[in-house]
Structure 1
Amino acid sequence: MSSPIIFSNEFGKPYRPDSISQWWDRFMKRNPDLPRIRFHDLRHTSATLLIHAGEHPKVIQSRLGHSNITTTMNTYGHLLQETDQRASSHFDKLFDEKD
């Protein structure tokens, strides 16, 4: 199975992988007020936002391209626990309202 094309030009042809890194470096230099992050860090940000939005881990696994859910869970599992604790607090509020 071939790798999916993540970035393509208007004709559907893939960009060279290093051109994306170069674009990101130029973008970061033009925006010095932004925190310095690597392009790859956007991947982690995306996963984290999906977890906090309550997205199912299998969907996140698929979007990240992990072949095994274990990889996703080992990398982001601590965030899922945090989200679970937040979800539990909703029940606390419900029970407190009934008192």
Structure 2
Amino acid sequence: MPLLRLGKGFQDFDLVVCNNVGKPLDLGDLNRDLNYVIEKYNFPKIKFHALRHTHATLLLLLGENPKVVAERLRHSSISITMDTYSHVTPTMQQQAADKLDEAINLINTKQSL
């Protein structure tokens, strides 16, 4: 990890992706490295920014709290996140309905004992 090796030589700009001394990456280098990984592992072609959307969509589909996703994306409000990723909400609505059904069945089971 560059921060541990460089100590005070590492400049922390609070970036998600940085070079080995903490400064912003050159966009050309970033795209070249991403394309290398895509080709090496035969992944579908994707632009770097699309990884952000994939990250958010997967978390929401897995049931992560939308507030947590909004914070990870550094959105100023949860409404921005939910407006952007509303295509995920039908699945989330079904998951919520399934959880409620499970809770009602659990209550009914306990009452019948």
* TM-score category (smaller protein): 0.7 to 0.9
When Rg is computed on C-alpha atoms for both structures, the one with the higher figure is 2
Which ranges of structure 2 fall in alignment gaps of 5 or more residues?
1-12
RMSD across aligned C-alpha pairs, in angstroms?
2.6
2:27 maps to which residue?
17
Kindly tell me the number of residue pairs found equivalent between the two proteins.
96
TM-score (norm: length of structure 2): 0.65
TM-score (norm: length of structure 1): 0.72
1:78 maps to which residue?
87
1:11-38 deviation per Cα after TM superposition (whole angstroms, max 9, x unaligned): 3233223311121122222233x22222
Structure 1 segments, 4+ long, off by >4 Å, are: none
**Which has the bigger relative contact order, CA under 8 A and spacing at least 6?**
1
Question: Higher helix share goes to which structure?
Answer: 2
Match of 2:36 among 22, 26, 29: 26
The percentage of aligned residue pairs carrying the same residue is: 35
CA pair 93-70 structure 1, distance change in 2 beyond 3 A: closer
